[in-house]
Amino acid sequence: MNSGIQQFSAERDSRVVNNDALVELLGVGFDYENTSILDEINLTVEKGEFVALVGPSGCGKSTLLNLISGVLTARSGQIVANGNILSSDRIGNVSYMQQKDLLLPWRTVAENSRLGSELRGVSSSESNEQVRKLAESFGLSDVLDSMPHELSGGMRQRVALLRAVLPDNPVLLLDEPFGALDAITRSSLQQWLLNVLDTSDKAVLLVTHDVEEAILLADRVLVMAHSPNGIIAEFDVKSVVSSGDNDITMSAEFIELKKQILDHLGKHEVVR
Partner 1 sequence: MTLLRTLRPRLIVWLPAIATALALLILWEALVEVLDVQRWLLPPPSVISIELFESFDLFVRHAGTTTLEIVLGFAVSVALGVVIASGIVWSRAVERSIYPIIIASQTIPIITLAPLLIIWVGTDIMSKVIVIVLFTFFPIVISLVTGLRSVDQEMVDMFRTLGASPWQTFRKLMVPSALPNFFAGLKVAAVVSVIGAVIGEWFGASAGLGWLMKLAGPQFQTARVFAAIVVLSILAMALFAAVVAVEKWSLRKYPPTANQVIRLGES
Binding site for partner 1 (CB under 8 A): 66, 69-71, 91-96, 98, 100, 102, 104-106, 115-116, 118-120, 147, 149, 163, 167
Question: Are 134 and 162 a contacting pair, CB within 8 Å?
Answer: yes
* Helix, strand, or coil (residue 121): coil
Q: Which is nearer to partner 1, 119 or 255 (CB)?
A: 119
Strands 84-85 and 171-175: unpaired
Smallest gap from Cβ 254 to partner 1, in A, equals 33
Rg (CA), the chain: 19
Q: Which is nearer to partner 1, 163 or 220 (CB)?
A: 163
Question: Are 100 and 177 a contacting pair, CB within 8 Å?
Answer: no
Question: Are 110 and 131 a contacting pair, CB within 8 Å?
Answer: yes
Q: Which is nearer to partner 1, 152 or 251 (CB)?
A: 152
Tallying the residues shown for the chain, one arrives at 272
Smallest gap from Cβ 86 to partner 1, in A, equals 12
Torsion of CA 110, 111, 115, 121, to 10 degrees: 110
What single-letter amino acid sits at 40? E
Smallest gap from Cβ 117 to partner 1, in A, equals 9
Q: Which is nearer to partner 1, 149 or 247 (CB)?
A: 149
Smallest gap from Cβ 105 to partner 1, in A, equals 5
Q: Which is nearer to partner 1, 118 or 210 (CB)?
A: 118
Smallest gap from Cβ 226 to partner 1, in A, equals 24
Q: Which is nearer to partner 1, 93 or 187 (CB)?
A: 93
Question: Are 215 and 237 a contacting pair, CB within 8 Å?
Answer: yes
Report the alpha-carbon angle 46-47-53, nearest 5.
Answer: 50
Smallest gap from Cβ 149 to partner 1, in A, equals 4
Smallest gap from Cβ 270 to partner 1, in A, equals 33
Residue 54, beta-bridge partner list: 208, 223
Distances (CA, A) of 148 to 38, 174, 182: 36, 20, 18
Q: How far apart are CA 49 and CA 219, in angstroms?
A: 7
Q: How far apart are CA 270 and CA 272, in angstroms?
A: 5
Q: Which is nearer to partner 1, 175 or 234 (CB)?
A: 175
